[in-house]
Amino acid sequence: MRLRQRTVRWSAGVLAAAVAIGAGQDASACNGTLELRKIATSGLVRYNFSLALTDAATATGIRLSAPNKVTDSSNSLRMNYIELVSPPLTLAQLDAQFPSGLYQVYCSPGTTPAIAVNLTRAFPSLPAITAPANGALIADRTPTVTWTVATSPNAFVLQLVRNNGRITELNVELPGSARSYTIPEGVLAANAQYALLLNARKAIGAAGSGNALVSGRQITFSTTP
């Protein structure tokens, strides 16, 4: 089945959403996750709001209700998924565009929210990557990433990307007690540039919902020829 795509925007273009819609697929529920992320890179801290909604094939519309704003995404065909991700924001922009409070996502038809999360600014402790060093040139093809953190989160997610984020090489979830991870053989290429992002995740909302506050640290490194 070929999917059609269109774009809807959160008020004033603050939040862009890519929506794929089609027909002929069934889903018994409208599920998804909401994340608020705090990412530190090169001394700069930025924030990001993310909503990923899946299994929405029977929905004729999606409504996101948040403090001071409501947005609708409606169409006459069935939705397969919806993903909304904000651009990087300063703390002042975050507070203005996504204030603390109750965020709810509804799928039509239906009156029960698929997601209901009280969003706060109680981020988990920001991890500090101790190896490799930011900007390092690495000869080892299976280096060990190490880090420290003041308080253990529920989990860590380690991501490794190259080509300015266009290719994801790793996306690994680790327990909150972890303090190191060895990159497997065959992942790193010679003479390549990588970005390494270590996310500390703190679960919010209902147990097992996947909703989270995230504090992440990003560094870059290169490999030798």
In the chain, what are the domains? 4-119 (2.60.40), 128-223 (2.60.40.10)
Which residue from 180, 36, 144 is spatially nearest to 94, judged by alpha carbons?
36
CB within 8 Å of 12: residues ≥ 6 apart = none
More confident residue, 106 or 210: 210
Per-residue pLDDT band at 13 (split at 50, 70, 90): very low
Residue that is written with structure tokens 């409504």 in the block: 63
What pLDDT, on the 0 to 100 scale, is given for residue 108?
73
Mean pLDDT within 96-113: 85
Q: What are 113-117's contacts with CB under 8 Å, separation 24+?
A: 113/65, 114/29, 114/30, 114/31, 114/32, 114/53, 115/32, 115/33, 115/34, 115/51, 115/53, 115/205, 115/209, 115/211, 116/205, 117/34, 117/204, 117/205, 117/209, 117/211
Q: Smallest Cα–Cα separation from 194: which of 158, 156, 168? A: 168
pLDDT on residue 189: 95
DSSP letter, residue 12: G
Question: Cα(164)–Cα(223) distance, rounded to whole angstroms?
Answer: 15
Coil vs helix vs strand at 224: coil
pLDDT of 1: 24
pLDDT for the residue 81: 65
In this predicted model, what pLDDT tens digit does every residue of 45-66 receive, in sequence order?
999 999 887 765 566 677 778 8
Share of the chain above pLDDT 70, in %: 78
What token pair was written down for 31? 């599920």
Q: Inform me whether the pLDDT recorded for 103 exceeds 60.
A: yes
Decide if 57 contacts 79 (C-beta within 8 A).
yes
pLDDT tens digits for 124-139? 999 999 999 999 999 9
Least confident of 31-35, 61-65, 177-181: 61-65
